[in-house]
Amino acid sequence: MTSLFSDSLSEIQQAATIIQHGGIVAFGTETVYGLGADATNTKAVEKIYRAKGRPSFNPLIIHFAELEHLFQFVQKTELAYELASKFWPGALTLVLNQRTDNPIKISPIATANLSTMAVRIPNTRVARQLIQFSKKPIAAPSANSSGKISPSTAKHVFQELNHKIEAIIDSGPCQVGVESTILDLSRDTPTLLRPGGISLEALTSICGTIEISHPIETKIISPGQLSSHYAPSLPVRLNCIHVTPDEALLAFGHPIEHTGLSKNLSINANLEEAAQNLFAYLRDLDAQGQALGLKGIAVMPIPQIGLGLAICDRLTRAAAPRTI
């Protein structure tokens, strides 16, 4: 049975002890719940892949509590430091070249044997205290079965991973609700690998030109690049202006006519609210829709600006053919 911890200091310390002894612990961040293990311990990292059923070619994000510690493991560039100073702690992951002069090594399994590493500093007390008490960088993908809907509450994690992991720290619902933005700085031009909690517009104000990578065209060099991901069991249909009787509706703003099962991401068309609700509402519609014998989930159009770009990215992958 997986232990459920509160976000009290003493129970975070207990969870950190589990990390130090090679166990895995789910914990809340501002984005989604992560599934954490000591990033320097290969056997511990292997447990993450087994618990999730995650393909070994898909690397993990390595989480740190302090900027100085992070730059002991990856190369510090002027642009990386400027972005870090602006957005960390926060929902931005940077892909940087690894340093080779640090005697402490991140497990090559965590980075899928790449010369780069995806890193970030999360913006929640619980996450940073867990890292600090563990005294280790923590490798942490989303705390769910690989390819399925990401968890934004401890309950979601428990439903999927009970008996597969040692513990879950319940720090309440996640405030951003979608994963971090991933920006690759290891190449000549900064490249957006995954839109997320930090908008493309905000990054462009510092980086200038940013190239945009498309999963189908690119080899996997960071988390979040699989074309099929975040998927409910029911098929997802996008940009809908009508709903069939055997579909549930995921609405946004003023809803289209539908008398059946529905949830509205934000009646006021607020993208921040929609992001917070996205994964929980997808889970609810999927579970209730299956119970009612429905055949799919219809999703209304969502503008691809600000957080809308991340929302549409997740929905596009949820609707993609199931390859993994």
Taking the whole predicted model, whether its pTM rises above 0.85 is answered as yes
- Which has more confidence, 89 or 225? 89
**What does residue 36 show for φ and ψ, rounded to 5 degrees?**
-105, 145
pLDDT (average), residues 81-88:
98
Calculate the average pLDDT of the chain: 94
% of residues, the chain, pLDDT over 90: 90
16-66 pLDDT, tens per residue? Answer: 999 999 999 999 999 999 999 999 999 999 999 999 998 888 899 999 999
Of the candidates 88, 141, 133, 74, the residue with the CA atom closest to the CA atom of residue 110: 141
Whether the predicted pLDDT of 139 surpasses 80: yes
Of the candidates 292, 287, 232, the residue with the CA atom closest to the CA atom of residue 259: 292
Structure tokens at 186: 């290891």
Strand pairing class (92-97; 25-28): unpaired
Q: Give the pLDDT score at 324.
A: 47
Whether the predicted pLDDT of 241 surpasses 50: yes
pLDDT (average), residues 181-207:
96
Whether the predicted pLDDT of 218 surpasses 60: no
